[in-house]
Structure 1
Amino acid sequence: MSAVAVVLFTSDLRLYDQPVLRAALRRADEVVPLFVLDRGVARAGFDAPNRRAFLADCLADLDAGLRERGGRLVVRTGDVVEEVGRVVARTGAQEVHLAGGVSHYAARREERLRAALGSVRCALHVHDAVITAVPPGQVTPAGKDHFAVFTPYLRKWEEAGVRDVMAAPRAVRVPDTATGDPLPSRRAVAGTSPGLAKGGEQEGRERLRAWLADGVEAYGERQDDLSGDATSRLSAHLHFGSLSATELIHHARHKGGPGGDAFVRQLAWRDFHYQVLAARPAASWADYRTRGDHWRTDQQEITAWQEGRTGYPVVDAAMRQLLHEGWMHNRGRLLVASFLTKTLYVDWRVGARHFLDLLVDGDVANNQLNWQWMAGTGTDTRPNRLLNPLAQAGRFDAEGDYVRRWVPELAGLAGAAVHRPWAVTGPERARIDYPEPVVDLADARARFERARGLN
């Protein structure tokens, strides 16, 4: 048994169902719960204001939970490997524990930690099934290192099962020699979205309880209902690990029914993307399957898309929701990604970067690979599908309530007419301060099909 162990928190900022912390507590008399505000994350361009503010909430909540158990969170700022080394040297820790990651950055961090800690005879323990429910690489097709198609992956994923949920620890003893910096403050973060949700484990657990009580049972029927806003809104808590994917699976299955099954399926999609990225780290910036695209770079059209001024109300509503909340409905994400990459025929990396600049749940695996899926360069078995925003609006915002919520200049239009403001005639049209469509949908489809060699 070690006298002191360090727990390096990364994307697992919770006390409930926390295998990394539980393992360290079993093996050491004292534990240093450590989070490093890693300057490498900022240099890589992932230190967006919305996520930085949500992170501050998570760290404050984690510190409060640890203090209730006699401990505290140690926060340090700098290079993650150097700061872990300093804590190890100061406390005499013999072990460092952390959750396994899948990104190129996470793999490099683990490699550097292993080398640095090995030189001072400090063991590094990397724990699986913490950030994902089923670890990447646990289920693979015969003769290959990962599944490239979701449906066969889902079958194997379900057969693999998930571990039991762990209770939160009752006590955490932290050595006095462990010192750190003040906790970051949400109030100190500039440039956040006005409607950004609050972070932290307790907030996540309250949202989870409400979702299980009134939401999950109808999820299968309502998950694409834009105006109904019937999704769980737990994605940011999954991204930061203030909630456990494993615990969510157990809860959803316990509730049973098609709603619970549909929700579990979405969590399986999350694991699917993690196992793809673990096997192909370059997919975060390069085409998983190249289609020989020669993308357009019309900056005016890109800006119109970013600002929610394309002239297609359902697309603009989703983009304005992103700007206001730092979050977007899942059906909206598909719509705006299809519009950028196939209707405007703009490189998926432009959209993925804009999402990462704003999304509080911005996640390299799910953001980049969902963008690739929609662009047709990823794992979609129908790479040339193109979502018509008018048809999609008719299916998922039939009465236009979602559009009226986010595009107030169209609030006076009744019913489904809100989706075609250019068709309004007479004096009413003159009162609508809304742009004409940036592109004709039929022309855009023909252009895309020519580019992909489909006609």
Structure 2
Amino acid sequence: MLFTRDLRVRDNPALAAACEAGQVVPVFVLDEAILDGPFAVPNRVRFLLDSLADLRRSLRELGGDLVVVRGDPVAEVARLAEKTHAGSVFIADERSAFATRRLAGLRRLGPDISVHPGITVVPPGDLTPASGDHYRVFTPYWRAWEAARWRPLADVPEAVRLPSGVRAGPLPRLADLIPGSPSPELAPGGERKGRERLAAWLRQDAAAYDDVHDDLAADRTSRLSPYLKFGCVSPRELAEAGPDAFRRQLAWRDFHHQVAAAFPALPRDDYRPRDRRWSDAKDALAAWCDGMTGVPIVDAGMRQLHREGFMHNRARLITASFLTRDLGIDWRDGLRHFGDWLADGDIADNAGNWQWVAGTGNSTRPDQVMNPLRQASRFDPRGDYVRRYVRELAGVEGSRVHRPWTLPKSQRDALDYPQPILLPE
């Protein structure tokens, strides 16, 4: 059983099928190609290590264990399969360009490769329009997604029977894998923490999700995105448990996965090319990255990102629009910076949303601009979100916190906060 982005024992169809088949060697491969690439940032690797430790604990409670090795997944699976005389390899169905290459390599091995759903609610490719290989617009996809028959939830295995003589090996420390430290308020990873978060959200906020999920100061979003990214919670289970408005967000996630499966260059190339010249204003990009643009709602979002390895969904839209529409800077620069910090940095979802905001992706309104001041007035009317993350402005009262440049000069000078690099129209 090769775990990838399905680090859980509940509703894991591949794990359930493997346990039904006989003795199982659960394995996770710390891929050298990924560790040497842009994935390997402290927030995601720390979250991954938490998740692996929790998965190992769960498998041991079922009588098994988790083998953790470092190297090339295909080579390591081949070595383990030969050593244990494995007849099959079970794996979750993932359609990213990287996962597609990995699966092709696994298929060249001797054992049978058994592929199962579990990464998305509806696997990419299961829903196709009559006119093409994938949906390019969300609304018709959403209608098809709602009407689709979802697979049944998989049971937790009663036991995981590990062959004798299999050594699990120690889990590495973060410092063993990459340099750097994670965000100080990064959420802990793992299925247990994910399910605790899910239970609390369902109990406290899920019923009001449609009314509050855009309220920046309320902070009542599910915060389940990193647990979805690593498969610590099941998207299929969430689709059944969550309210309609939340289910729509899961459909957006599936939508971007099917777009990325059909257009693997989504993180690099414009999905819908437009005749546009991007600015190379490095100072403006640096100010945006550092949360020092002088536009408080933008800076608050960027500082939340650095502090927590997470950003509120509305703030993601505001900060992305400001970078691409107001500053005219390439969406790929924003995607790269988000990728450096987000624990939930899903390639398909992150790139799909950046292109949607920039007007090069799947938006039906490619010229839409989100004015940050109007957004702040609507979604942070009292300025509480800004004061939480932009500490220089903590003493500014009411909505004036969104326009500190309008304060008297003596008060403005005392703030030690930059003038805006650009005043939104």
SS at match of 1:37: strand
Identity %: 52
Assess if the C-alpha contact under 8 Å between 1:77 and 1:181 holds in 2.
Answer: no
> What residue in structure 2 maps to residue 279 of structure 1?
262
> What residue in structure 2 maps to residue 422 of structure 1?
405
> What residue in structure 1 maps to residue 111 of structure 2?
122
Shift of the alpha carbon at 1:427?
Answer: 2.3
1:268 aligned residue (240, 247, 251): 251
User: Over aligned residue pairs, what C-alpha RMSD do you find?
Assistant: 1.1
Larger CA deviation: 168-177 vs 320-329: 168-177
> What residue in structure 2 maps to residue 449 of structure 1?
none
**Residues 1:102 and 2:95 are matched in the alignment:** yes
Shift of the alpha carbon at 1:162?
Answer: 1.6
Shift of the alpha carbon at 1:192?
Answer: 0.6
Inter-CA distance 426–352: structure 2 relative to 1 (3 Å threshold): closer
> What residue in structure 2 maps to residue 321 of structure 1?
304
Provide structure 2 residue ranges, at least 5 long, that are not aligned to the other structure. none
Q: TM-score normalised to the size of structure 1?
A: 0.91
Assess if the C-alpha contact under 8 Å between 1:54 and 1:186 holds in 2.
Answer: no
Shift of the alpha carbon at 1:426?
Answer: 4.0
Name the CA distance, whole Å, in 2 between partners of 1:108 and 1:215.
Answer: 40
SS at match of 2:24: strand
- Cα-to-partner distance string for 1:44-64 (whole Å, 9 max, x where unaligned): 321111010001110000000
2:416 aligned residue (433, 445, 449): 433
> What residue in structure 1 maps to residue 105 of structure 2?
112
> What residue in structure 1 maps to residue 372 of structure 2?
389
Name the CA distance, whole Å, in 2 between partners of 1:101 and 1:25.
Answer: 20
Assess if the C-alpha contact under 8 Å between 1:90 and 1:177 holds in 2.
Answer: no
Assess if the C-alpha contact under 8 Å between 2:65 and 2:168 holds in 1.
Answer: no
Shift of the alpha carbon at 1:180?
Answer: 4.2
**Residues 1:345 and 2:334 are matched in the alignment:** no
Assess if the C-alpha contact under 8 Å between 2:355 and 2:361 holds in 1.
Answer: yes
Assess if the C-alpha contact under 8 Å between 1:57 and 1:185 holds in 2.
Answer: no
> What residue in structure 1 maps to residue 149 of structure 2?
161
Name the CA distance, whole Å, in 1 between partners of 2:416 and 2:328.
Answer: 27
- Cα-to-partner distance string for 1:428-455 (whole Å, 9 max, x where unaligned): 122111111111323xxxxxxxxxxxxx
**Residues 1:251 and 2:245 are matched in the alignment:** no
SS at match of 2:69: strand
SS at match of 1:77: strand
- Cα-to-partner distance string for 1:169-193 (whole Å, 9 max, x where unaligned): 1210111233343113357663210
> What residue in structure 2 maps to residue 3 of structure 1?
none
Assess if the C-alpha contact under 8 Å between 2:267 and 2:332 holds in 1.
Answer: no
Amino acid at match of 2:39: F
Assess if the C-alpha contact under 8 Å between 2:43 and 2:342 holds in 1.
Answer: yes
Assess if the C-alpha contact under 8 Å between 2:42 and 2:174 holds in 1.
Answer: no
> What residue in structure 2 maps to residue 256 of structure 1?
none
Query: Following TM superposition, where does structure 1 have runs of at least 4 consecutive aligned residues deviating by more than 3 angstroms?
Result: 185-190
Name the CA distance, whole Å, in 2 between partners of 1:160 and 1:45.
Answer: 35
- Cα-to-partner distance string for 1:116-145 (whole Å, 9 max, x where unaligned): x1xxx31111112x0001011111110311
1:230 aligned residue (211, 214, 220): 220
**Residues 1:33 and 2:33 are matched in the alignment:** no
> What residue in structure 2 maps to residue 306 of structure 1?
289
Q: TM-score normalised to the size of structure 2?
A: 0.98
> What residue in structure 2 maps to residue 380 of structure 1?
363
Name the CA distance, whole Å, in 2 between partners of 1:138 and 1:207.
Answer: 30
SS at match of 1:32: coil
- Cα-to-partner distance string for 1:79-130 (whole Å, 9 max, x where unaligned): 1111111111111101001111121111111111112x1xxx31111112x0
SS at match of 1:217: helix
SS at match of 1:369: helix
Name the CA distance, whole Å, in 1 between partners of 2:6 and 2:76.
Answer: 19
Name the CA distance, whole Å, in 2 between partners of 1:127 and 1:165.
Answer: 12
